[in-house]
Chains A and B, each alone.
Chain A
Amino acid sequence: MSNGASSPPILEVEGIHTFIGEFHILQGVTVEVPRGSITVLLGRNGAGKTTTLRSIMGLNAPRTGEIRFNGQRLNGLRAHQIAQRGIGYVPEKRIIFRDLTVAQNLQIAERQKGDLERKADLIFGLFPDLKRLIDLPGGHLSGGQQQMLAIARALVPDNTLLLIDEPSEGLAPVLIEQMMDAIHQLSSHTTVLLVEQNFQVASRLAERYVIIEEGASVHAGRMEDLIHDDELIKTYLGVA
């Protein structure tokens, strides 16, 4: 449900340049994420989409540029402080803790005591499988289950923005459906910024898009416009 018109964007990224070592990865990325929407970062492999998410999360602090969350500057804050502001991160390759049980994986995400209890209904409503697996070590879960867990983990504390990186990667189609369903449901009270390589998935999930090409944001707009713009799709995404 897009609400971009009436309220200020929940996240504003302005012209950030991020370096990894000496490599100039992001060369001017600007992204606006409207409150309550699902926005997707599109682009080819290596364009800088993951780095953008990491920059927002504070894992690779940008050298120049501004990042504002609910109007407050995130620049200079460390990753855990940014997370505490209410941003959840679901990284590529769903880094769940293999040696910890599913329960412990969820517990560790608590920011206040009782978070998990309060969110239990929501989480197990979205991902009923997790209830069954609750005492298994994370490493024993299948890829799809791990992805569910990774997303569930981001739902435990009171996050108002979720950064999700390539959720469909390595998942079978039926699981992708399940996952998209879950994301749709949770987007009703959480804003989502997505990175998705799979255009089919992206086009069905997201309302807005930003295209990143060679480290810079080059295009943005509404997904319903992009779907019909074959020219644009071919130029920047190289896929029909």
Chain B
Amino acid sequence: MLAYFNHLTPRHRRSWALVAAYLGFLFLVSFIDFGTNTAGQTIFRGVLLSMLIFLVASGLSLIFGLLDVLNFGQGAFVLVGAYVGYATYQAVELNSTLSFLAAAGAAIVSVGLLGAIIEAGLIRPLYERPVFQIVLTFGLAAVLIDLVERIWGPQPNQPLAPPEMFRGTFYLFGQSLSVYRLFIIALGLIIMIAVGLLLNRTRLGIIIRAGVQDAEMVQALGINVRRVFTFVFVLGAVLAGLAGIALVPYQGATLDMGNQFLIMAIVVVVIGGMGSYEGTAVASFIVGLTRAVAEQMSLKHFDAPVLAETSILLLMIAVLLIQPSGLFGREES
């Protein structure tokens, strides 16, 4: 751990300082404006949101780092995961925990398959035409979202009850919250650590990180990078799908979920730096907390949570103007 900090470049050290300062600023502003209780609740919400955003953004970042494709379909994967999970959760008549597991399984499998087919059949052949790859993911996302709407209808779906074991409530800052929220946070943390371990301790992870830097060289070392590409793409898709099913007992399943998370994931990747795993993790917190605080603020002062989107956009503009390669990304040549 210490070794990590020792090896940081001055630029990255500055980034960490900036992050700490910004988060401190956010906390301060919340406590001053909202008072301790509401601030605490807001921060809790922010952390929750950060975890979900991280699930979507980590896939985006890895896929972009390794395949050089910005997968605009990540949002659609969230959507598909949510709707397939929702349908399965309702359909399976076992006890709620098993139902939920089945739903999660269905979400993962369906999104994973989708991802594999898309990567192998549509993205790989377009390797020579990166512009078309981006356009394809974008168009495909639109098609997928439309398909979901056709199959399940445009009306928003109310959240379903979480599985039995998470149905309790607990008290936090004067508010009674569902234990399920803790589950989401725990899930996010576990995945964050798991993927981090994968990237740093396993051979596959080393290959991925090397490939992010120079996929051709990895190929020249005798490693079939294409299979790794597919793996990473599917992993990214699956994480997004997981976010989707995790949302079902929390927010239900609505059609504009996909885009919402896509935009936030995009901002995360820009802020954190393309292809940087730590960057994605840190930026997820930044975006999630910013959004929660902005929502609360605009709720308090304008009676509606509208300005959250704008705040995220402003963050993005700020980063693009000051440091386009992101906090922890590599320098853009």
Q: Is B truly associated with A?
A: yes
Instruction: Report A's interface with B, CB cutoff 8 A.
Output: 57, 59, 78-80, 83-84, 89, 91, 95, 97-100, 104, 107-109, 111, 135-137, 140, 153, 157
With A104-B206, A140-B7: A111-B222 Cβ-Cβ less than 8 Å: yes
Q: Report whether A98 and B225 are in contact in the complex, using a CB–CB cutoff of 8 Å.
A: no
CA distance A153 to B225 in the complex (A): 18
**Residues of chain B within 8 A of A95, CB atoms compared:** 214, 217
Q: A79-B220, A80-B222 are in contact. Are A107 and B7 (CB under 8 A)?
A: no
Let me know if B217 and A137 touch, CB within 8 A.
Answer: no
Q: Kindly provide the distance from the CB of B76 to the nearest chain A CB, expressed in whole angstroms.
A: 31
| Contact A97 B209, CB 8 Å, known A137-B7, A140-B7 | yes
Chain B contacts of A84 at CB under 8 A?
222
CA distance A107 to B207 in the complex (A): 10
Using CB atoms, name the residue of chain B closest to A57: B220
Residues of B within 8 A of A91 (CB): 217, 220
Are the C-beta atoms of B220 and A83 separated by less than 8 Å?
yes
Nearest CB to that of B3 among chain A residues?
Answer: A135
CB contacts under 8 Å to A, within B197-249, are: 203, 206-207, 209-210, 213-214, 216-225
Q: Is the CB of B216 within 8 A of A99?
A: no
Q: At the interface, is chain B mostly helix, strand, loop or mixed?
A: helix
What are the interface flags for B1-29 relative to A under an 8 Å C-beta threshold, 1 for contact and 0 otherwise? 00100010000000000000000000000
- Give B contacts to A, CB under 8 Å: 3, 7, 203, 206-207, 209-210, 213-214, 216-225
User: What residues of chain B lie closer than 8 Å to A83, measured between beta carbons?
Assistant: 219-222
In the complex, chain B residues whose CB is within 8 Å of the CB of A59: 216, 219-220
B206: contacting residue among A98, A100, A153, A157, CB under 8 A: A100
Q: Which of B203, B216, B217, B224 is packed against the most chain A CB atoms within 10 Å?
A: B217
Contact status A100-B209, CB under 8 Å: yes
Beta-carbon contact of A108 and B221 below 8 Å = yes
Q: State how many angstroms separate the Cβ of B161 from the closest Cβ of chain A.
A: 44
A51, chain B: closest CB distance, angstroms: 14
Say which residue of A57, A99, A111 sits within 8 Å of B213 (CB atoms).
Answer: A99
Q: Which chain B residues border A108 with CB–CB below 8 Å?
A: 203, 206-207, 210, 218, 221, 223
Bound together, the chains give a CA A95 to CA B212 distance in angstroms of 13
Which residues from A are CB-within-8-Å of B219? 59, 78-80, 83
Q: Which 10 residue pairs across A and B have the least CB separation, nearest first?
A: A83-B222, A97-B210, A89-B220, A79-B219, A95-B217, A84-B222, A80-B224, A80-B219, A104-B206, A80-B222
Residues of chain A within 8 A (CB-CB) of B224 are 78, 80
Residues of chain B within 8 A (CB-CB) of A137 are 7
Out of A78, A80, A100, A140, name the residue touching B210 (CB < 8 Å): A100
Q: Please give, as numbers and ranges, the residues of chain A lying within 8 Å of B225 by CB-CB distance.
A: 80
In the complex the two chains form, is B213's CB within 8 Å of A80's CB? no
- Which chain A residue lies CB-closest to B276? A99
Q: Which residue of B lies closest to A153 (CB)?
A: B221
Give A109 to B223 CA distance when docked, in angstroms. Answer: 9
Chain B residue, CB-CB nearest to A79: B219
**For the complex, what is the distance from the CA of A84 to the CA of B220, rounded to whole Å?**
9
Chain A to chain B contacts (Cβ below 8 Å), 10 pairs: A79-B216, A79-B219, A91-B217, A97-B210, A97-B213, A99-B209, A99-B213, A108-B203, A108-B221, A135-B3
Report yes or no: A109 in contact with B209, Cβ–Cβ below 8 A: no
* Beta-carbon nearest neighbor of B128 in chain A: A21
Contacts of B7 in A (CB 8 A): 136-137, 140
A97 partner residues in chain B, CB cutoff 8 A: 209-210, 213-214, 217
Residues of chain A lying within 8 A (CB to CB) of residue B217: 91, 95, 97
The complex places the Cα of A157 from the Cα of B217 at a distance, in Å, of: 15
How far apart are the CA atoms of A109 and B219 in the complex, in Å?
10
Chain A residue numbers with a CB within 8 Å of B207 are 108
A79-B216, A97-B214, A100-B209 provided; 10 other pairs, C-beta below 8 A? A57-B220, A83-B220, A89-B220, A91-B220, A97-B210, A98-B213, A100-B206, A107-B203, A108-B206, A136-B7
